[in-house]
């Protein structure tokens, strides 16, 4: 076994990858035969091999903090859930699952809860990601159907991206779009986003609309398409709006892409339907090069939708109507069918907080960080009488709260299927053995089901068994009435299954597009244009909280960084939690570029590194979502967000929160490099990033310290110490060695600095430090070198901003291709190409 075809575990693009055994471990490359990416990978996919080490993994079952055997742990879970159900009924228990689960895992969890426990209290973190799209699809089409496919993006003459920074969040889709734009410059790109993102930098037209006014824009477009009068006040000059309307109206082949910027809103479902209305009005749907196309955030958000992982869906794209409940109950032979929808994520954790949920099982997700009002969610989980977490990671903000921890398989070990944003089912195949005692999620759930008395219905011996049952359910009494039909995969060879788009009604016959024939899944066969009355976000700025916080993803990190946070390559691009601020706001608020800011929301606060960004609208700031209490002292963005939800989808408004921003005035700043985890207090600022043989912590504090003794408490007391103290300038530098090997280094300054001790980082790779090298450890600068930190632009080749600017100036470079030829930047995964274009454009402006 030296070469395995599998699928990337990050975003909803669903790129195919090939894992190959090498002398040093594994290499990960894009699969040239996979239709989603045709060999491409973004930087996250390219760095997958850096994330598969076993450090930090949960390898054994744990009950009450102590290692135990599987039998004991599974008995404890079954007893805990059984006792709650017996005493308080089936609705007193809940599963909170994840778009990281494979379809087979999802299917078994959903079947246990909705058919055998008898409640629909199973919801997924996809609720936070794209449930507004599900609701919007169902209202418009009568089914949760993505009409088109990725090829449409390349076939279109106009591509509109709304609330989507695809350049960073769905990079391979964006690379495909840019490649087509290069080949066909007449292809127009419109980006609708309050921020001037890397995606917007590549657009022919960027509409920096007022946050939350997307539905105003698209209802205005609909009126324009119908020839009606429309008022379109969305914070953008009228002529730019009219240009967009003209382009949309006059171009037959239009694809509209959207993502969390639309979905994560208290009116997300309306926004989705406002977009779809324009495509229905023009008939531009389900035909080559045209249609509305939502980009899902997670690798298997779609698979979760398919099996019924959302609390308001039953199974196989069926809802809670009597006919569907009866049909699914007969198919499963289920004794306790849920009769009504369950609690959606925000309400589910509300029920945990008020004591209605007595037993909670969290699978492969981290709600203590990712949900809005995260501090309250954390407290709610702490008060829940019985909490089970199955995860591949030992120590997350949520596993810390569990009574029972169950070790699950991670990417590279899992075996199953996922579905990407274009309805394409692909196999995830294992190329690594199960580590420790870790088990597949479907197996863990099935064994608990068996202990709860349902062994006969959960006697699966492989994921192939489960997939076949899932396919049979989709086809059961379908007769063309339901969009999801996998009849043609029931007898497929699971081992060799090739990527294919559903519905698959006959063997080998996938479906690129739906609705091109004008037939939809409402009872009358027609689609619906949903009437939309746009409304603003739930909370508006106030004198106490005068700014709007927007949130999203960094280019090189994924969710709560449990995997991507292990990669030094990925850490280089943004090693700290940042807050992007318009320069005018920064000047008004007294914030310095690269200084620190305290952000206060209605319920919580956090400290972030300031990045001045002229692409922000004044009055609005932006922070990435990735940092947790494991990776930063206080930067959980979920805690700053309000739990207002969309009334139809239940999706929380994670893109819009009123906040106050003030300078965090530090008395000292520092950098710490350590081989092991160090015990840093929460009352200072710190953020941790992965290094090759160590971790790097960036530090700051409001009060001074006794540095020699503080260094020993942070780095460990024994061993040999090399120290330098300049009390007048407030500088302190120290290195700790044990048996000649470097164990930790601490640098303290009185002022903020972009100091980067790269030469010391290299010393962590040495078995022993010799005399000359010892002298450099606390020198404060590399031998004869520049000690400044250069912002990394190209993570693959470690090329920084200063080097790129110098090359453009000295060599008079005029294109990204020329930069690539000279520096290699942008020539591997291409994720940094949009940023290279920005640097190039700035250089031209300033030349
Ligand atoms: Fe993975 Fe990147 Fe492809 Fe998304 S675009 S699936 S993160 S390689």
How many angstroms separate the Cα of 620 from the Cα of each of 551, 586, 596, 656? Answer: 11, 11, 17, 9
The answer, yes or no, to whether residue 518 has pLDDT greater than 90, is yes
What are φ and ψ of residue 527, in 5° steps? Answer: -90, 170
pLDDT computed for residue 846 by the predictor: 75
Coil, strand, or helix at residue 127?
Answer: helix
Average pLDDT in the 716-728 region?
A: 90
Read off the tokens for 681. Answer: 């207090």
pLDDT computed for residue 361 by the predictor: 98
Average pLDDT in the 44-70 region?
A: 95
555 vs 568: CA distance, rounded Å: 14
Coil, strand, or helix at residue 470?
Answer: helix
The answer, yes or no, to whether residue 427 has pLDDT greater than 90, is yes
pLDDT computed for residue 789 by the predictor: 59
Burial of 507 (0-12, 13-18, 19+ CB in 10 A): exposed
Q: Binning pLDDT at 50, 70 and 90, where does residue 296 land?
A: very high
- Return the axis-axis angle of helices 214-226 and 268-282, rounded to nearest 10°: 20
Least confident of 456-460, 579-583, 779-783: 779-783
- What is the Å distance from ligand 1's center to 87 Cα? 45
Helix (H), strand (E) at residue 465: helix 463-475
What residue's CA is closest to ligand 1, atom 2? 42
The 8-class DSSP code of residue 238 comes to: H
DSSP string, 360-421: EEEES--HHHHSSSHHHHHHHHHH-SEEEEEESBS--TTGGG-SEEEEB--TTT--EEEE-T
Average pLDDT in the 327-351 region?
A: 98
Instruction: State the average pLDDT for the chain.
Output: 94
Beta strand extents in 739-829 (DSSP E only): 741-749, 792-794, 799-800
Average pLDDT in the 537-541 region?
A: 96
Contact assessment for residue 269 and residue 132, using Cβ atoms and an 8 Å cutoff: yes
What are φ and ψ of residue 166, in 5° steps? Answer: -60, -30
- What is the Å distance from ligand 1's center to 126 Cα? 17
- What is the Å distance from ligand 1's center to 241 Cα? 32
The answer, yes or no, to whether residue 568 has pLDDT greater than 90, is no
pLDDT computed for residue 565 by the predictor: 87
**Centroid of chain to Cα 144:** 21
The answer, yes or no, to whether residue 775 has pLDDT greater than 90, is no
The helices-and-strands tally (H runs, E runs) of the chain is 27, 32
The 8-class DSSP code of residue 437 comes to: T
What residue's CA is closest to ligand 1, atom 3? 15
- What is the Å distance from ligand 1's center to 639 Cα? 27
Q: Name residue 552's beta-bridge partners.
A: 624
Contact assessment for residue 129 and residue 159, using Cβ atoms and an 8 Å cutoff: no
The answer, yes or no, to whether residue 845 has pLDDT greater than 70, is yes
- The size of the chain, in residues, is 847
- pLDDT tens by residue, 602-623: 989 999 999 999 999 999 999 9
Mutation choice for ligand 1 from 16, 170, 173, 418, CB with most ligand atoms inside 8 A: 170
Residues with Cβ < 8 Å from 463, sequence gap 6 or more? 102, 104, 415, 416, 417, 440, 442, 494
Mutation choice for ligand 1 from 45, 295, 561, 569, CB with most ligand atoms inside 8 A: 45
How many angstroms separate the Cα of 349 from the Cα of each of 94, 133, 690? Answer: 10, 22, 32
584 vs 338: CA distance, rounded Å: 55
Mutation choice for ligand 1 from 51, 171, 573, CB with most ligand atoms inside 8 A: 171
Q: Binning pLDDT at 50, 70 and 90, where does residue 784 land?
A: low
The answer, yes or no, to whether residue 788 has pLDDT greater than 60, is no
pLDDT computed for residue 844 by the predictor: 80
654 vs 643: CA distance, rounded Å: 8
Percent of the chain with pLDDT over 90: 83
- What is the Å distance from ligand 1's center to 765 Cα? 30
434 vs 431: CA distance, rounded Å: 10
* Residues having CB within 6 Å of any atom of ligand 1: 8, 10-11, 13-15, 37, 41-42, 44-45, 170-172
The answer, yes or no, to whether residue 787 has pLDDT greater than 80, is no
Q: Determine the atom of ligand 1 nearest the C-alpha atom of 37.
A: 3
772 vs 775: CA distance, rounded Å: 5
- pLDDT tens by residue, 257-285: 999 999 999 999 999 999 999 999 999 99
pLDDT computed for residue 785 by the predictor: 58
In this prediction the pTM is: 0.95
Mutation choice for ligand 1 from 6, 9, 10, 174, CB with most ligand atoms inside 8 A: 10
pLDDT computed for residue 658 by the predictor: 98
Q: Determine the atom of ligand 1 nearest the C-alpha atom of 420.
A: 6
Average pLDDT in the 139-152 region?
A: 98
- pLDDT tens by residue, 164-221: 999 999 999 999 999 999 999 999 999 999 999 999 999 999 999 999 999 999 999 9
- What is the Å distance from ligand 1's center to 737 Cα? 40
- What is the Å distance from ligand 1's center to 11 Cα? 5
The answer, yes or no, to whether residue 797 has pLDDT greater than 90, is no
pLDDT computed for residue 561 by the predictor: 87
The answer, yes or no, to whether residue 837 has pLDDT greater than 90, is no
Q: Determine the atom of ligand 1 nearest the C-alpha atom of 831.
A: 2
């Amino acid at each position: 076994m030296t070469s395995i075809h599998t699928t990337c575990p990050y975003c909803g693009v669903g790129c195919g990858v090939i894992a190959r055994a090498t002398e040093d471990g594994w290499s990960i490359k894009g699969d040239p035969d996979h239709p989603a990416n045709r060999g491409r990978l973004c930087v996250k996919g390219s760095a997958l091999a850096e994330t598969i080490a076993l450090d930090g993994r949960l390898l054994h079952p744990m009950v009450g903090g102590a290692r135990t055997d599987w039998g004991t742990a599974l008995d404890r879970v079954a007893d805990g859930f059984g006792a709650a159900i017996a005493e308080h009924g089936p609705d007193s228990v809940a599963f909170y699952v994840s778009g990281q689960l494979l379809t087979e895992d999802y299917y078994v969890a959903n079947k246990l809860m909705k058919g055998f426990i008898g409640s629909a209290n199973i919801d997924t973190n996809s609720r936070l990601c794209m449930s507004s799209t599900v609701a919007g699809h169902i209202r418009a089409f009568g089914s949760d159907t993505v009409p088109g496919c990725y090829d449409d993006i390349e076939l279109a003459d106009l591509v509109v991206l709304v609330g989507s920074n695809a350049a960073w969040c769905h990079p391979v889709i964006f690379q495909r779009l840019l490649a087509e734009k290069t080949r066909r410059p007449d292809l127009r790109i419109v980006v609708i986003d309050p921020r001037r993102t890397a995606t917007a930098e590549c657009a022919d037209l960027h509409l920096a609309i007022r946050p939350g006014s997307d539905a105003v824009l698209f209802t205005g477009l609909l009126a324009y398409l119908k020839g009606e009068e429309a008022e379109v006040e969305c914070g953008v000059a009228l002529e730019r709006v009219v240009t967009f309307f003209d382009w949309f109206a006059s171009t037959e082949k239009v694809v509209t892409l959207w993502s969390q910027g639309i979905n994560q809103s208290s009116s997300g479902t309306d926004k989705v339907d406002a977009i779809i209305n324009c495509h229905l009005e023009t008939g531009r749907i389900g035909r080559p090069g045209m249609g509305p196309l939502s980009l899902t955030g997670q690798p298997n958000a779609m698979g979760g939708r398919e099996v019924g992982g959302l609390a308001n869906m039953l199974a196989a794209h069926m809802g809670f109507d009597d006919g569907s409940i009866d049909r699914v109950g007969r198919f499963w032979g289920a004794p306790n069918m849920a009769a009504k929808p369950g609690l959606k994520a925000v309400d589910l954790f509300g029920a945990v907080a008020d004591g209605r949920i007595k037993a909670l099982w969290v699978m492969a997700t981290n709600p203590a960080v990712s949900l809005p009002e995260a501090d309250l969610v954390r407290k709610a989980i702490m008060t829940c009488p019985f909490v089970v977490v199955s995860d591949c990671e030992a120590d997350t903000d949520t596993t810390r709260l569990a009574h029972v921890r169950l070790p699950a398989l991670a990417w590279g070990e899992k075996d199953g299927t996922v579905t990407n944003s274009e309805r394409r089912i692909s196999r995830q195949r294992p190329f690594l053995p199960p580590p420790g005692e870790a088990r597949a999620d479907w197996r863990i759930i099935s064994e608990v089901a068996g202990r709860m008395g349902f062994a006969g219905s959960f006697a699966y011996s492989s994921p192939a068994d489960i997939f076949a049952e899932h396919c049979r359910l989709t086809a059961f009494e379908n007769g063309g009435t339901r969009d999801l039909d996998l009849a043609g995969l029931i007898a497929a060879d699971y081992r060799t299954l090739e990527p294919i788009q559903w519905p698959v009604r006959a063997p080998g016959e996938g479906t690129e597009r739906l609705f091109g024939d004008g037939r939809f899944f409402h009872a009358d066969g027609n689609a619906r244009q949903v009437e939309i009355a746009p409304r603003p976000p739930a909370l508006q700025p106030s004198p106490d909280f005068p700014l709007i916080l927007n949130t999203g993803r960094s280019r090189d990190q994924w969710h709560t960084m449990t995997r991507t946070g292990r990669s030094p390559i990925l850490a280089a691009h943004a090693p700290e939690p940042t807050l992007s601020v318009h320069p005018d706001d920064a000047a008004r608020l007294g914030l310095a570029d690269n200084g620190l800011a305290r952000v206060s929301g209605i319920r919580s606060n956090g400290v972030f590194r300031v990045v001045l960004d002229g692409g922000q609208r004044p009055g609005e700031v932006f922070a990435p979502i990735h940092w947790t209490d494991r990776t930063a002292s206080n930067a959980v963005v979920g805690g700053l967000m309000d739990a207002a939800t969309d009334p139809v989808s239940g999706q929380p408004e994670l893109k819009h929160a009123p906040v106050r921003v003030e300078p965090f005035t530090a008395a000292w700043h520092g950098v710490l490099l350590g081989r092991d985890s160090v015990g840093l207090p929460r009352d200072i600022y710190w953020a941790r990033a992965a290094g090759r043989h160590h971790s790097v912590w960036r530090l700051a504090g409001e009060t001074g310290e006794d540095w020699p003794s503080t260094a020993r408490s942070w780095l460990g007391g024994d061993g040999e110490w090399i120290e330098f103290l300049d009390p007048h300038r407030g500088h302190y530098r120290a290195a700790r060695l044990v048996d000649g090997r470097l164990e930790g280094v601490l640098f303290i300054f009185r002022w903020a600095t972009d100091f980067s001790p790269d030469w010391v980082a290299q010393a962590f790779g040495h078995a022993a430090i010799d005399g000359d090298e010892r002298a450099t450890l606390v020198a404060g600068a590399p031998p004869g070198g520049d000690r400044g930190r250069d912002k990394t632009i190209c993570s693959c080749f470690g090329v920084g901003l200063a080097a790129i600017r110098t090359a453009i100036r000295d060599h008079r470079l005029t294109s990204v291709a020329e930069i690539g030829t000279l520096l290699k930047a942008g020539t591997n995964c291409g994720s940094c190409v949009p940023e290279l274009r920005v640097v190039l454009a700035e250089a031209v402006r300033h030349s």
